[in-house]
Structures are given as structure tokens and as C-alpha cells.
Amino acid sequence: MRSLAHTVTLALLRVGLVHSLSAQTPQMGWNSWNTFKTNFDQSTLQTTADLLASTGLKDAGYTYLIMDEGWQDLERDSSGRQQPNLTKLPDGVPGIAKYVHGKGLKLGIYSDAGIYDCGFYPGSYGNEELDAATYASWGVDYLKDDNCGGFYANTESPYTRFAVMRDALKTSGREIFCSLCQWGHQFPWYWADLVGQSYRMSGDITSIYSDTGKDCPVTGCSVLTIIRKMRELSRFQKKGAWADMDMLEIGNGNMTLRQQQTHFSFWAALKSPLIIGADVSKLAADSLSVLKNEEMIAVNQDSEGEAMHYLPELSVEKQSQVWAGALSRGRTVVLVLNEGNVTSAIEVELAKIPGLNAWKLYQVRDVWGVKSVRNIKGVVNVTVEVDETKVLVFS
């Protein structure tokens, strides 16, 4: 049994971490990995920064530009510091930071809580203070801290290794957001709020809507697979320690517009970080419109900070899913997903939705339908196309 002192210490750590950094809403931005893997360079980053600004994505809230694996050299320098691959980044990380900051954006960088990262570039294990100080001196605002090399770091737990970087970032002299990437390994929803501002709750996403994928514990997770995982995990979502459902695949692969809207709706209403994983220069107009949807972004960034929850009593397994969650100003958001293979008429009883009253008259906003209906009471009947999600905001 844990002692009272230990319990109090954990509580103080949680309060201190949650309020120490600007993580009161899920982070939004762009990451290089899903599209480019390690095949990006200075031009890629500068072009993306330009496009985030010119397309309106920055103004919509996507303010982090994150260099994933591949920015660094395979060896540390003579002083033991991680160093950039100057063939890819001739201006170095400070040069990229200056350019990104000049666009009104923030710069993110990638490392690992192990000896090596996933591609055997130098990880930060044993060099956390040096690396954190280096990032701060370069003007970095965000760290994605991976876990591939952690399995070679003796037998230390992810919590122990990530906590060292947490402490190093605190003393680096710069506020740096810390995003943990440990694929749900060792139940991070119980401890990640002590060491980072967001944490991955599953394996890597892929640009497939419904295929489960044999490797999903680590890679190959479809959109629907990750949504199903969140049925059990949404209750752990909290301000300052966001469960990260992984990068958005909107604009990648062959998802239909409805599937992309469903993808974005669930990531937004479950309060996942919204990190674009597509090549912004190749985004179709429909995909860009989904990513910039002001009403869905407002749900994600709502000051209440509460994720919606799955309602099994209103859902039919493999046919329909109904979710609901509280928003600020006494509002409630309800998502109705058609998971079947035919268009469905779905009845939603308001008495079974937490926070709603069956006898009260509501105004209901259909977010994707861009229409509002007044004086709704008792039940809502919606016709939902295959793969479509109706997003309804009750006020």
C-alpha cells in the first residue's frame, strides 16, 4: 500500500506539471514523419512553415512545426552534443528555429528516451541535461520523446527514463513542451501526467480507415482501431497530459471525405492533439477544409478540457457508435458514427446522454451539416451515411 506521503508527493507533482507549461488545451501543429519519414530537409521545413502561414492553418491553431527523426547526424559532436545533419539542414537547428519563429510558429524536435532512437540515431539516455540545454540554446519549443531505444536501456522503466528528461527540460532555461511517444507501452495513462504534457495511447497510425492491422500494438493502427481503443481510455484524458491518438492522416492515403471527417471529429472531441501528418503542399481542398473546420477545432480546444465518452447503451457493436461529452457554457457534444455498411436511421434518446434532460428544449447544431435546429426535446433522429459521423452540439 502506498504511504500517504507518497500519495501527496504524486499529487503535488501532477499539479506542478499540469500548470507549469502551456498545455491547457491539446497541442496543434504539423509533423514530418507520416509523409516524409527521414527524407526531409531544410527546404521541406521552410516550405511547410510558409504553407502553414499562407493556407490559414497557423491561424486555425496549428502552431507547432515538428522535425521528426532524421534531422540529426548519426554521431554526437566532440562535446558530446547531438548535432544536425548539415547536408539536410545547412543553417542548423538555430537557423530553422529563426525561420519558423519568423512565421509566427514554434519549432519541435525529436529524440528518444533510450541510447538510440528508432533509426539508430543518438538517443538522449544518459545525456538528458546536455540535450535539453542544447535544444533550449537552439530555440526549440517542443520535444517529441520516443521510446524505441528504451528497450536497450538496461531494465529502467519508461517512467524512470522519461522523468530524467522532464527534470532536464525544467532546468533548461526555456519552456519546452514534452510529448511522449511510447505507443501505450506500460499503461502510460496511469503515470504519463507526471512526466509529459501528452503521451501516445497506442501504436503508430496508418492512413487506412478501417483495417485493424496485425501489427497495431506498435504500428499499422487504422483510424477505427484507435477510436475503439479510446472507448476504455477516454476517462483518463485530462488537462495538461493529453492522450495522443497519433498524427492526423487527413490528406494521406485514400480515405473518402466522410472518413476524413470522422477521423477529425473523433480526434477533436476526444481531445487528442491535432498534429497534421500530410504534405501540406499536396493537400486537396476538401482535406484542407476538414483540418480548418472552426467548429471542430473549437470542440478540441474547449476550455472545459473534457473528452467525450462512449455510450454502449446507445450503440450497436460494429453498426453504430454514440459518444458524448461536456463542453463549456453548459453545452454537450454528441457524435453518432455509422460503422455499418448501409445508410442508417439512428435514434438517440437524450435521457441516456449524461448532462442532457429529456424534457428540456435544446438548440442542436449539426457541425458538418452546417445547420441548426431549435426546440429539440426527448429524442434526436439522424440519418447517417456509411462511415459518416454526425457531430451534434446541444445548447
Q: Is 91 a catalytic residue?
A: no
CB of 158 within 8 A of CB of 125? no
Which residues are CB-contacts of 351 (< 8 A; sequence separation ≥ 6)? Answer: 357, 358, 378
Grid cell in block for residue 23: 498545455
- Beta-strand ranges (E) seen in the chain are 28-31, 64-66, 106-112, 142-146, 177-181, 198-200, 242-244, 274-276, 309-310, 320-326, 332-338, 344-349, 362-366, 371-376, 379-384, 389-394
Burial class (CB in 10 A: 0-12, 13-18, 19+), 177: buried
Which one of 68, 117, 145, 146 is the catalytic residue? 146
| Cα 150 from chain centroid (whole Å) | 22
- Given a contact cutoff of 8 angstroms between Cβ atoms, the answer to whether 322 and 315 are in contact is yes
What grid cell was written down for 247?
498524427
Cα angle 9, 10, 11 (rounded to 5 degrees) comes to: 90
User: Which of these, 225, 185, 181, 213, lies nearest to 200 by C-alpha position?
Assistant: 181
- Dihedral of the CA atoms 175, 177, 182, 184 (nearest 10)? 130
Identity of the amino acid at 7: T
- Given a contact cutoff of 8 angstroms between Cβ atoms, the answer to whether 115 and 153 are in contact is yes
* φ, ψ for residue 372, nearest 5 deg: -125, 145
Q: Report the alpha-carbon distance of residue 149 to residue 159 in Å, rounded.
A: 14
Q: Are the beta carbons of 270 and 306 closer than 8 angstroms?
A: no
**Which is the catalytic residue, given 117, 204, 302, 387?**
204
Q: Is 146 a catalytic residue?
A: yes
Just list the catalytic residues: 146, 204
